[in-house]
Amino acid sequence: MNVALAQLDFHIGHFEQNTRKILDAIHQAQLAGAELIVFPELCITGYPPRDFLEFTDFLDRVHLAIKQVAKACTTIHALVGAPSVNPELSGKNLFNSAYLLGDGKVKQVINKTLLPTYDVFDEYRYFEPNKTFECVEINGKKIAVVICEDTWDIADDPMYTVHPLDELMKENPECIINLSASPFSYTHHRKRMDMLRWNTQKYKLPMVYVNHVGAQTELIFDGGSMVFNASGECCERLPFFKEEVRIINIKHLEAKKPVNDPTEVSLIHDALVLGIRDYFHKLGFKKAILGLSGGIDSAVTCALAVEALGKEQVWGVMMPSPYSSQHSIEDAVQLAKNLGIRHDVISISNFYHSFLQGLQPLFEGKPFDVTEENIQARCRAVTLMALSNKFGHILLNTSNKSEAAVGYGTLYGDMCGGLSVLGDIYKTQVYELANYINRNQEVIPMHTIVKPPSAELRENQKDSDSLPEYDILDKILFQYIEMRKGPLELKKMGFDSMLVDRVLKLVNMNEYKRHQTPPILRVSDKAFGMGRRMPIVAKYLQ
């Protein structure tokens, strides 16, 4: 059987565009002689549609789109992901489904059994789990069709009690097809490979796995759709972060020579570029603005934005204060010249001194402290937001995950923005990204990379005045945030006891700040935002 894998970038709720992409791919597959074309999970709506699923009009448009796509399936079959209505009087109103389309109509509907409700997933909020199992038949061939999580029940102690493929094997299918919406993290593609290999070896059947590509606000989908033969060997893999329709023959699956996996830093880089690009394009934005400090975070953010949007669409603004060093200004200017972007210098010294003068009667006799530092950060934010409003640019936030974790940032200051580009990137990873961006030529000035990081909000300030060295801090943060290690476990791992207590207290007491940040592009297994739900008012480790 010739099967087309349609790895495409869908837009949540944009039924016209999504349907047009599906119809174009069907036409392409028909011309290439495919008998079946497979699309990702919930491709009609885009993933995840969330509370749009509670709108009757939204569901009506799903139904109309399915009918339109079905009419195009005359000489080909298609598996298309979309919600379907639960006909029973009990349970949730909807299923997460795969529609088998052929002969101009809906021939069968297959429902998802395992509904992930953890981290960024909340499917049980909307969908009823499947309880009946039936293979589909296409041109005399029996196929086990499953949806995303239905093949992830592979752990020794699974969270699910039903194993969909075990049930479907009772009908002796010839292959497995998985429609998926599996978000990117920089370790997930390896887990995905292991999962697919495990399933194909267990059931001794080939598997076709089709994944979303593209970004939906903070969630980034990397594609990487694959085909495995019955021996558990990867025979085809579509590119990461790119759309493609590829035809494969299920009967002739030969293992290809091992392909070197992309490096972790290259995957993160490509994910962030796609995340920026889709956020802007899908919201109808074109131009970005950001503050350039001469530091590494703003430099990396700017370079990524230029790659995503083009140099004509990115505006860098340098806003020196009385504490800004000359070399930082020079580094920022050099970065802007290297990237070819518009750049302006607006001193905030007058703004800053005006605030101090106005507050002087109340601040009389009080020493300089973080208050004056935050005033500078907020002067910069007001300046950037004024330019954003006046000229229609979206402000990119440049804070990294290390800073966000411990509250090393100013609310309504450097934490402002429409999108947080580096909010899921630890400071040590920012340096890796900078070196990756410079892999072919010096884009980010070398002085920006090698100088000690500083907010430059007071004389001779360095980040290390307030924080542990980042190579130590990031290891503690990773174990606490991603690996969910508590204080006793961290101390047993060899981390200094007092440092562990201090860092974890900073993380927990600054939860209120993180609830007021822009959406963060997710690239790790545990990002701040929708996938990490922590109480603000809590006493744990404070």
| Residues identified as active-site | 41, 112, 148
CA dist 517 and 301 (Å) reads 16
Total Cβ atoms within 10 A of residue 151: 25
Cross-strand bridge partners of residue 344: 317
Residue 89, C-beta contacts closer than 8 angstroms, at least 6 positions apart: none
Element (H, E) at 86: none
Total Cβ atoms within 10 A of residue 491: 16
What single-letter DSSP state applies at residue 347? -
CA dist 2 and 285 (Å) reads 40
Q: How far apart are the first and last CA of the chain?
A: 61
Cross-strand bridge partners of residue 216: 219
CA dist 333 and 299 (Å) reads 11
Nearest to 312 by CA among 422, 418, 393, 420: 393
Bond from prior residue into 487 cis (ω within 30 degrees of 0): no
* Residue 350, token pair as written in the block: 């007058």
Q: Which amino acid is at 289?
A: I
Nearest to 526 by CA among 186, 172, 234, 210: 186
CA dist 184 and 240 (Å) reads 10
